[in-house]
Structure 1
């Protein structure tokens, strides 16, 4: 894999840390800014909504820019939003910076996905995306626990400053490693926006986007409440929470890396194997989460299976969106973040059911079951040729 891919992954690591870090900072933010914790929780919703809306909007805005220019602009906007967030004393301003950061994150990820695909031969798109999404999984391993520790030792503003500083080497890497060429490959002009949006009428594209959203919703539904499951249902000490989160992250990294080597050549096999195993894993977690000895192994396994399946489906989005070279990445990003926004909401609603603290786990199982039922009649749509019709 070319070095520029890893430089893009560094930026994705910084952005993934920002997306997830609030889980450990909300109480301090609420106290410092004088708002209830529930109100501070709206910062997470603002980021998720900004990601969903921002992917197509930012991709459309920057579709005619050179890719390096677009990536640097989005990184600069993301950095500025975190500096403003670290300096403000007003919750409304912090809320606005989270929306801006989400828009920048969505735009960067949308362009980075198409850039990653353009940096490798057409039949290695899945492996390239595995490297890129590896930045997100590393954020759950190191970035989020590190941010929580930094917030505990100093304050929540220090974590915002740390994310901003991470953007500097990432920007230098983009500047030095990404070609300064046009947005479309080989200097060809980008297709008309209407033509690219027309790809959304493709049944195969809509199918893989829906499946990616369902699987990602299941993943983030339980991940959001994993600390509560560990300390409440499993009865583990709070000191175990970072370890459980790191185990999930390690599993995620292992899964997305392993599946990246198969998702181009044998995507149907990856889906056929990991999909049912993921469902069985969520059921097993729901039945045995009360046993502390079982939780760590199941958390690692579910992280691996979730990202192996989810990463493969997102790679399929890029293949199915061939013919939309500047918008394909935004379709993949939107699918990811519809799931990231909807999953925690569904999981939170499940907390009020008879399943109580294990409601999120059973909600995740239901979401994966729904994905498998939707996918079952269309096996050929997920087992298409590895080589897309056009480079994205």
Structure 2
């Protein structure tokens, strides 16, 4: 077998973005399809959040476990294994026969999808230097937009014309192709193994570092605030607002297109203005959209506009957050740091999904009762996010400007391409 070719920064970003597209689509298509498989399997509408929570809870556990061993392997091989497991689990979701079997399949998907995300972000942070990382993160996170532009509307259309199971099988097939591409086209990614460290950072040290704790707290807040809302958007639009199911396809398409453009603009803005300024704008817009969408919807506002604004706000705050947190760890512990971060990210999503399912009720007509209270919770949590942006960014700036002794151990160090010495 010939060795994998050496590809450019742009090639790595493109391939990782494609892998992330499948990983993200596999996750994000499930909630819009919720009313379809709920009807097909006899699942109450308000329990759709539990399906999302099965994935995120398992991904959280996988993130914690992965933090102990992912930094010991070539990132290319580890990513390939994670993607192959995700492919098998996605196919299993299409074979579900009831709530229990679907929960098991989604949990298995989370066990592989969580590490795949942290490995993908670690690869980008390893390959791309800090001065271009915001743009690269925006490009990779554009996979979310592409999944929304093409993937989710297509999954909805395929399920409407065929069966809700078919999108699961199609995504599994695409994931298999990209897992093979990662194996054969990515170069060996062993730089973190070859770099000598004077000091190995333990889990205890990681969780007693102020920068890390602030970063993880920000991660938790963002994801709880988002996932008390996200699993129920499709059901709310169809049952509470009375829009036909066909409108979801065009709404996700337009929302994804807006996000695709805005992520790149936001990535460049973060490189120039910093995460605090850009992230605060994103959080403010996110809260405004929640109020308009779920609390005080003006007459005549098209559903497409609401989706576009929601995707825009969510994308801007996420690019600012991802770029900022990528600068916290030193390269040799990046996978460990990001594995725990992925675990906390999925834990936050799980907590949000479960909280919303407990707070909501399914009314006789299928409508969701209690959305105003859920939105109030999301907005209250969002208020603390700009404060976290400010604190993390300021502390990282002070750390990077501080003189470092040549004898100082490399611990949580810089987020750049090589440890300072």
- TM-score, normalised to structure 2's length? 0.80
Which deviates further from its counterpart, 240-249 or 368-377? 368-377
CA contact (8 A) 2:276 2:320 kept: no
Q: Which residue of 2 aligns with 1:297?
A: 305
Pick aligned residue for 1:224 from 216, 231, 234: 231
Say if 2:248 is the partner of 1:241.
Answer: yes
Q: Which residue of 2 aligns with 1:315?
A: 323
Shift, 1:121, TM fit: 1.6
How far apart are the structure 1 equivalents of 2:359 and 2:38? Answer: 25
Q: Which residue of 1 aligns with 2:410?
A: none
How far apart are the structure 2 equivalents of 1:303 and 1:35? Answer: 28
Say if 2:370 is the partner of 1:370.
Answer: no
Secondary structure of the residue aligned to 1:2 is helix
Deviations 1:146-204 (A, max 9, x none): 2222222222332221111111331232123321142616x225787753652222222
Given the superposition, is the C-alpha separation of residues 230 and 112 from structure 1 closer, same or farther in structure 2, using an over 3 Å criterion?
Answer: same
Say if 2:30 is the partner of 1:46.
Answer: no
Secondary structure of the residue aligned to 2:175 is helix
**1:11-50 alignment to 2 at 5 Å?**
11-26=19-34, 29=37, 42-50=50-58
Shift, 1:229, TM fit: 3.8
How far apart are the structure 1 equivalents of 2:242 and 2:97? Answer: 37
Say if 2:78 is the partner of 1:64.
Answer: no
CA contact (8 A) 1:64 1:190 kept: no
**1:260-275 alignment to 2 at 5 Å?**
260-265=267-272, 266-275=274-283
Q: Which residue of 2 aligns with 1:204?
A: 211
How far apart are the structure 1 equivalents of 2:198 and 2:168? Answer: 38
Pick aligned residue for 1:148 from 143, 150, 156: 156
Given the superposition, is the C-alpha separation of residues 273 and 86 from structure 1 closer, same or farther in structure 2, using an over 3 Å criterion?
Answer: closer
Between the two proteins, the alignment pairs up a number of residues equal to 390
Which deviates further from its counterpart, 213-222 or 116-125? 213-222
CA contact (8 A) 1:259 1:308 kept: yes
Q: Which residue of 1 aligns with 2:340?
A: 331
Q: Which blocks of at least 5 consecutive residues in structure 2 are unaligned?
A: 1-8, 362-367, 402-412
Q: Which residue of 1 aligns with 2:169?
A: 161
How far apart are the structure 1 equivalents of 2:263 and 2:10? Answer: 18
Q: Which residue of 1 aligns with 2:406?
A: none
CA contact (8 A) 1:286 1:361 kept: yes
Q: Mark the structure with the bigger radius of gyration.
A: 2
CA contact (8 A) 1:348 1:360 kept: no
How far apart are the structure 1 equivalents of 2:146 and 2:164? Answer: 21
How far apart are the structure 2 equivalents of 1:183 and 1:77? Answer: 25
**1:66-81 alignment to 2 at 5 Å?**
66-81=74-89
Q: Which residue of 1 aligns with 2:370?
A: 356
Given the superposition, is the C-alpha separation of residues 236 and 78 from structure 1 closer, same or farther in structure 2, using an over 3 Å criterion?
Answer: closer
Pick aligned residue for 2:394 from 380, 383, 386: 380
- TM-score, normalised to structure 1's length? 0.85
CA contact (8 A) 1:221 1:343 kept: yes
Q: Which blocks of at least 5 consecutive residues in structure 1 are unaligned?
A: none
Q: Which residue of 1 aligns with 2:146?
A: 138
Given the superposition, is the C-alpha separation of residues 97 and 346 from structure 1 closer, same or farther in structure 2, using an over 3 Å criterion?
Answer: closer
Shift, 1:377, TM fit: 6.5
How far apart are the structure 1 equivalents of 2:82 and 2:198? Answer: 22
